[in-house]
Amino acid sequence: MELILKQDVENLGFKDDVVTVKNGYGRNYLIPQGHAILATSSAKKVLAETLKQRAYKEAKLIKDANKVAEEIKGLELKIASKVGAGDKLFGSVNNINLAEVISNAGIELDKKFIKVAGGSVKRLGKYEATIRLHREVIVNINFEVIPESTK
């Protein structure tokens, strides 16, 4: 089944991509959730026209994403967390915590575009995360999990 994605779908494609999926996945999930529409010949013509018009806007989006990427690379991220015995954390540090720390630095990001290596961090130390600002602009950042200071 050929579909046109109306928004980014993890592990499938980006908005306005034409993808081929199994019938059940398309009929029972993607179309009812509003993630995709059927790729009929008329829908493909409309998509081609839309993509032509979007090419100019796309260049500006990439330029803006590169500016944000440079700002993020300049950040030194430290996440304070409660620590138990040794270097084990109470709970874990994940993309939500990282998004909060970045937003405190003045850069607004959606948590779904942040991927922490391994999903979540459960020990103190230095780690790496990947942030997708645009389909063509992906930034790797390093962050450190430090013990929360007790008073």
Q: Does residue 93 sit in the same domain as residue 137?
A: yes
Q: For the chain, 151 residues long, give each residue's pLDDT as a single digit of tens.
A: 999 999 988 899 988 899 999 999 999 999 999 999 999 999 999 999 888 888 888 888 888 888 888 888 888 888 888 888 788 888 888 888 888 888 888 888 888 888 888 888 888 889 898 988 888 888 888 888 888 875 4
Q: Does residue 139 sit in the same domain as residue 77?
A: yes
Can you give the pLDDT at residue 43?
92
Can you give the pLDDT at residue 25?
94
Q: Does residue 20 sit in the same domain as residue 77?
A: no
Q: How far is CA 26 from CA 1, 22, 34, 107, in A?
A: 7, 6, 10, 35
Residues 134, 65: contact at Cβ < 8 Å?
Answer: yes
Bridge-based pairing state of the strands 77-81 and 137-147: parallel
Residue type, 7: Q
Q: Does residue 15 sit in the same domain as residue 54?
A: yes
Q: Does residue 110 sit in the same domain as residue 93?
A: yes
Q: Does residue 50 sit in the same domain as residue 108?
A: no
Can you give the pLDDT at residue 28?
96
Residue 151 burial (C-beta neighbours within 10 Å; 0-12, 13-18, 19+)? exposed
Q: Is the pTM higher than 0.85?
A: no
Can you give the pLDDT at residue 83?
87
Q: Does residue 43 sit in the same domain as residue 18?
A: yes
Quick one: CA dihedral 16, 21, 23, 24, positive or negative? negative
**What is the chain's alpha carbon radius of gyration, rounded to the nearest angstrom?**
20
> DSSP state, 30?
I
Among 11, 39, 62, the domain boundary falls at: 62
Can you give the pLDDT at residue 150?
55
Bridge-based pairing state of the strands 77-81 and 36-38: unpaired
Question: For residue 52, what are the domain limits?
Answer: 2-62
Among 30, 62, 94, the domain boundary falls at: 62
CATH no. for residue 26? 3.40.5.10
Q: Does residue 75 sit in the same domain as residue 132?
A: yes
Count the domains in the chain. Answer: 2
Q: Does residue 111 sit in the same domain as residue 43?
A: no
Calpha distance 139→114 (Å, rounded): 10
